Copies of this chain bind each other. A is one copy, B any other.
Amino acid sequence: MAEKRLTEDVIFRTALRLVDADGVEALSMRKLAAELGVNPMSIYHHVDNKAALLDGITRMVTAEVKDITVSDGPWPDQLRRLAYEFRALTLTHRHLLRYILASDDFTQRDGPMWRTLRTVLRSAGIAEAELNQTAMVLVMLIGGLLHTEAEGAEHRDDSTFALAVELLIDGIAART
């Protein structure tokens, strides 16, 4: 299609577009090459293999989350904000959620998202010793719910998500 010079950037962006549209399952190196108007093997000159390709587009997406900040205000509002921000991200890249949850940014606990989350939980009154584990639990619960939501299109429902967030906020409030 585009007859420009092949770069890692255009490869990643095209791959992300294909994945967002039809899922990781439907992405093949050969289809991606066809979409780029290029020989399938040319891609290997810029990307090691398919795993590296998926890794690259996952990194592109998680980079967007890096600068999530929460405004001042009561901690439930802040937590709600984080949850809805997370959901917005997963709705535009729903087929990639599996990889996002498994990526370093989410497993490693020293990223910017974790720092903000810990700050919010601290102001909610969670004890310093339980901070990390509570943050982990919240990410796994919300991330997991979003994954189930993303997988089966039939149970994507705003009010169900809202109830989940409020239930978690109540749970946090009860533990302090």
Contacts and interface: CB of A to CB of B under 8 A. Distances in A.
A61 to B, nearest CB: 17
Q: How many copies does the complex hold?
A: 2
A143 B148 contact: yes
A173 B167 CA distance: 9
Contacts of A175: 166-167, 170
A164 B152 contact: no
Interface of A: 98, 101-102, 107, 130, 133-134, 136-137, 140-149, 151-152, 154-155, 159-160, 163-164, 166-175
Given A101-B152, A145-B141, A147-B148, A172 B163 contact: no
A101 B163 contact: no
Given A137-B163, A140-B160, 18 more contacts: A107-B152, A136-B155, A137-B145, A137-B160, A140-B145, A140-B155, A141-B141, A141-B144, A141-B168, A143-B148, A147-B147, A166-B175, A168-B171, A170-B170, A170-B174, A171-B174, A173-B174, A174-B174
